[in-house]
């Protein structure tokens, strides 16, 4: 047997022997090379969700505000006033681990296309990033610096503000960093468009950049396998981004939709033309002919299979009625965007790939899209801890003041200013709350209302207790929205996990999905879309299980959006919400070198929901002058952050038995306001002075806290 025999070829492309046998059975013949290349991508984990799809059925996806749910390029919710907000989060982890600048940049580019593919103008980007320890690891600093530069390069250049995000640093992400990008888009409700191809005889038009050899096999080679040695050689699988092309493509597509010239629109992401054509055909219940000889190429001599699987960026596929093709070409010409007829919608259920008119691949749409086997995973809780203890950073003899300073200057808590100063948060003139001004970003809408958005997910806590940790991510994200006065409308998530074929990873995934589902049900938030990224492992083990949650909410009055910083001396400070924190999974436990294990504090959904409602109402009625949720570092860090953001001190007495550094995120808040207005709450102190004093624990000048808080990332970046 030669190395190119069929039995070896499918394995090299990531298909198992039994999957290959199933393909042969379904087709009634061996697939040819073009077909095998297409199927290997469509049947990859990245495209087929074959290890997660069954689990995802558990997630609640319906709600009164949902306009587009899972399965479209992006989900969308009704935000009132005839407007829809489309949004989605997606990972670009493995490309970024191999080439962080382009990996992160094209992650942003991809999620922007998902949003304008449904007809919405992208209005905001958020990023959720995970790296190894920045202080001790050169690799982590390199990945951080280049990924941040890549995100800025793309978002800044295309004129979409980066309004928020989060970063955590943990040893488990050392090799396998996480780059999740979320985008929000705004559209008149009636302009949302679906990707289903329709109307046999209609023309398939490819828009945008030339097709090259970049990104070939990205979905199967990079995104659906563990990282390991020799990843340098995978660099050619990473796509190269050109934000200028995308800016023109975006404006062009939005104008095409404004003028009602398209039947449907789909972005070209993972698996390129193969995926776009298959999805459009499948959703429309039609077939498609694609002639690769018509595809404008970046280099000559590309094979049909290369054209079909290329992941070259900044391309879209659309279906156009024949009589409107001329208008489409005219609009594209003005935006200097290529528009090329490459095929047509046909009756039947085949995707046919032609080369100068002769068929080189003929695959039933159902085999491409529906017939990939879905696997049951075999969850089993780990017998022993999965993750090593972090190195202890504390001696154990520190005073509370020293502990607070250590926490404020720890990489996971310190100021993100050196990162977000590299992003434009204000372009498009909607940004009412910029990064670090409030717990969520706030964007104003026409008519005076606003939307709010936050993205959250603490992997260490999910590692301790996958079900409770994942639920906490939802609660914390909703709490962040409450702090600005917003009510959640819909949620998107990105599930970043290790290899699901390993029982303990399967268990983490199963438990986390259950936790997400329950929290969404408890808070009444539908999941409108998302993404799953598996096989996030390096030779030394899996990443922390990291479900990342993004929630979009609305508030009636942009002018009353909440802030996190204390506002005026003399205001009372109160704790709102049930708060029985513990040190399990806390930032302090990490600094003490404790491994992430053990159950997290329970959540009382009714009481927490009441707390979220109270805070939201307090902000909306301007009774509260500030609100901040208590998360990493406990109530001491929350108070310190309120002082730093407000530039003012505070004097408080904590209720009996509360460890100032213990955590229970998503449940409780520090709020401030006039003493008379806070009478019904647990008042713990008063705003004023230039130091934070926690009675019996610590007293620190705001300036000293700010120094520790501001310094760390500035030094490593």
Partner 1 sequence: MKFGVVRFPGSCDDVDALRAAELVGEAELLWHADRDLHGVDAVIVPGGFSYGDYLRAGAIARFAPVMESVAEFAREGGLVLGICNGFQVLCEARLLPGALLPNVSLRFVFRQVELAVARAEGPFTGACEPGERLSIPVKHTTGRFYAPDDQLDALDASGQVLLRYAPGHNPNGSLRDIAGICNEQGNVLGLMPHPEHAVDPLTGSIDGLKIFASMRVHLDDRVLAF
Given the rule CB under 8 A, which residues bind partner 1?
149, 152-153, 156-159, 242-244, 247-248, 335-336, 420-432, 444, 558-559
> What one-character DSSP code corresponds to residue 70?
B
Q: Which is nearer to partner 1, 231 or 710 (CB)?
A: 710
Inter-residue contact 453 to 488 (CB < 8 Å): no
Q: Which is nearer to partner 1, 249 or 654 (CB)?
A: 249
Q: Report the distance separating Cα 552 and Cα 532, nearest Å.
A: 19
Q: Report the distance separating Cα 478 and Cα 525, nearest Å.
A: 9
* β-bridge pairing 441-444 and 450-456: antiparallel
Q: Is 610 exposed, middle or buried (0-12, 13-18, 19+ CB in 10 A)?
A: middle
* β-bridge pairing 572-576 and 691-694: unpaired
Residues β-bridged to residue 288: 345, 351
Smallest distance from the beta carbon of 502 to partner 1, in angstroms?
Answer: 40
Phi-psi region for residue 272, left (φ > 0), alpha (ψ -120 to 50) or beta?
Answer: left
Smallest distance from the beta carbon of 486 to partner 1, in angstroms?
Answer: 15
Smallest distance from the beta carbon of 205 to partner 1, in angstroms?
Answer: 20
Q: Report the distance separating Cα 154 and Cα 241, nearest Å.
A: 8
Q: Which is nearer to partner 1, 325 or 427 (CB)?
A: 427
Q: Dig out the tokens for 615 from the structure.
A: 């805070």
Cβ atoms < 10 Å from Cβ of 285: 12
Inter-residue contact 666 to 631 (CB < 8 Å): yes
Active site residues: 46, 92
- In DSSP notation, 113-156 reads HHHHHTTPEEEEEEEEEEES-TTT-HHHHHHHHHHHHHHHHHHH
Smallest distance from the beta carbon of 337 to partner 1, in angstroms?
Answer: 9
Q: Which is nearer to partner 1, 423 or 661 (CB)?
A: 423
Smallest distance from the beta carbon of 247 to partner 1, in angstroms?
Answer: 5
Inter-residue contact 514 to 520 (CB < 8 Å): no
Smallest distance from the beta carbon of 216 to partner 1, in angstroms?
Answer: 25
Q: Which is nearer to partner 1, 388 or 426 (CB)?
A: 426
Cβ atoms < 10 Å from Cβ of 27: 16
Q: Which is nearer to partner 1, 72 or 439 (CB)?
A: 439
Smallest distance from the beta carbon of 244 to partner 1, in angstroms?
Answer: 3
Q: Report the distance separating Cα 145 and Cα 715, nearest Å.
A: 12
Residues β-bridged to residue 560: none
Q: Which is nearer to partner 1, 34 or 558 (CB)?
A: 558
* β-bridge pairing 75-80 and 203-208: unpaired
Smallest distance from the beta carbon of 487 to partner 1, in angstroms?
Answer: 20
* β-bridge pairing 121-131 and 162-169: parallel
Q: Report the distance separating Cα 75 and Cα 53, nearest Å.
A: 17
Q: Dig out the tokens for 603 from the structure.
A: 């959540």
For residue 10, report the phi and psi dihedrals to the nearest 5 degrees.
-65, -30
Q: Which is nearer to partner 1, 156 or 651 (CB)?
A: 156
Inter-residue contact 170 to 536 (CB < 8 Å): no
Inter-residue contact 250 to 242 (CB < 8 Å): no
């Amino acid at each position: 047997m030669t190395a190119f025999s069929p039995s070896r070829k499918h394995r090299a492309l990531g298909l198992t022997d039994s999957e290959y046998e199933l393909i042969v059975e379904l087709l009634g013949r061996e697939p040819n090379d073009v077909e095998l290349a297409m199927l290997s991508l469509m049947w990859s984990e990245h495209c087929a969700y074959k290890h997660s799809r069954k689990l995802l059925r558990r997630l609640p996806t319906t709600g009164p505000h949902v306009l587009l749910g899972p399965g479209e390029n992006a989900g969308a919710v009704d935000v009132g006033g005839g407007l829809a907000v489309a949004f989605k989060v997606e990972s670009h982890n493995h490309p970024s681990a191999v080439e962080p600048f382009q990996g992160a940049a094209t992650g942003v580019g991809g999620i922007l296309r998902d949003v304008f593919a449904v007809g919405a103008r992208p209005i905001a980007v958020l990023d959720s990033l995970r790296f190894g320890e920045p202080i001790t690891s050169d690799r982590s600093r390199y990945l951080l610096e280049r990924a941040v530069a890549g995100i800025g390069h793309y978002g800044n250049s295309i004129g979409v503000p980066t309004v928020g995000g989060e970063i955590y640093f943990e040893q488990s992400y050392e090799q396998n960093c996480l780059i999740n990008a979320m985008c929000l888009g705004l559209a008149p409700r009636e302009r949302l468009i679906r990707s289903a191809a329709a109307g046999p005889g209609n023309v398939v038009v490819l828009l945008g950049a030339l097709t090259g050899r970049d990104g070939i096999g990205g979905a199967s080679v990079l995104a659906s396998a563990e990282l390991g040695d020799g990843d340098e050689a995978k660099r050619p699988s990473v796509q190269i981004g050109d934000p200028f092309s995308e800016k023109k493509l975006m404006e062009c597509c939005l104008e095409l939709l404004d003028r009602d010239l398209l039947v449907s629109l789909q972005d070209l992401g993972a698996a390129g033309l193969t995926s776009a054509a298959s999805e459009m055909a499948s959703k429309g219940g039609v077939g498609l002919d694609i002639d690769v000889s018509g595809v404008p190429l970046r280099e000559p001599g590309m094979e049909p299979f290369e054209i079909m699987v290329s992941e070259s960026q900044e391309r879209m596929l659309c279906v156009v009625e024949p009589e409107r093709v001329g208008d489409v070409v005219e609009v594209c010409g003005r935006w200097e965007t290529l528009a090329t007829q490459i095929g047509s919608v046909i009756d039947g259920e085949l995707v046919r790939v032609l080369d100068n008119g002769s068929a080189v691949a003929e695959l039933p749409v159902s085999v491409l899209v529906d017939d990939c086997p879905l696997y049951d995973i075999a969850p089993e809780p780990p017998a022993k801890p999965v993750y090593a203890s972090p190195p202890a950073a504390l001696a154990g003899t520190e005073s509370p003041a020293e502990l607070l300073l250590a926490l404020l200057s720890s990489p996971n808590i310190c100021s993100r200013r050196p990162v977000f100063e590299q992003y434009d948060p204000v372009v498009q003139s909607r940004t009412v709350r910029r990064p670090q001004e409030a717990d969520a970003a706030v964007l104003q809408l026409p008519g005076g209302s606003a939307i709010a958005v936050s993205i959250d997910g603490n992997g260490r806590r999910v590692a301790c207790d996958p079900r409770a940790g994942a639920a906490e991510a939802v609660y914390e994200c909703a709490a962040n929205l409450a702090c600005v006065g917003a009510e959640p409308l819909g949620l998107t998530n990105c599930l970043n996990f290790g290899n699901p074929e390993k029982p303990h990873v399967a268990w983490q995934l199963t438990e986390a999905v259950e936790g997400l589902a329950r929290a969404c049900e408890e808070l009444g938030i539908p999941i409108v879309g998302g993404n799953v990224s598996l096989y996030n492992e390096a030779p030394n083990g899996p990443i922390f299980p990291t479900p990342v949650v993004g929630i979009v909410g609305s508030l009636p009055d942009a002018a009353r959006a909440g802030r996190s910083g204390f506002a005026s001396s003399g205001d009372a400070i109160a704790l709102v919400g049930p708060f029985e924190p513990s040190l399990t999974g806390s930032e302090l436990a990490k600094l003490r070198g404790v491994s992430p294990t053990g159950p997290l504090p329970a959540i009382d959904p009714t009481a927490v929901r009441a707390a979220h409602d109270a805070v939201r109402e307090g902000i909306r009625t301007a009774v509260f002058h500030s609100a901040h949720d208590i998360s990493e570092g406990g109530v001491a860090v929350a108070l310190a952050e309120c002082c730093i953001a407000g530039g003012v001190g505070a004097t408080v007495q904590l209720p009996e038995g509360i460890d100032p550094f213990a955590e229970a995120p998503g449940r409780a808040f520090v709020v401030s306001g006039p003493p008379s207005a806070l009478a019904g709450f647990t008042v713990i102190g008063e705003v004023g002075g230039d130091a934070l004093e926690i009675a019996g624990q610590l007293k620190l000048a705001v300036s000293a806290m700010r120094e520790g808080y501001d310094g760390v990332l500035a030094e490593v970046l």
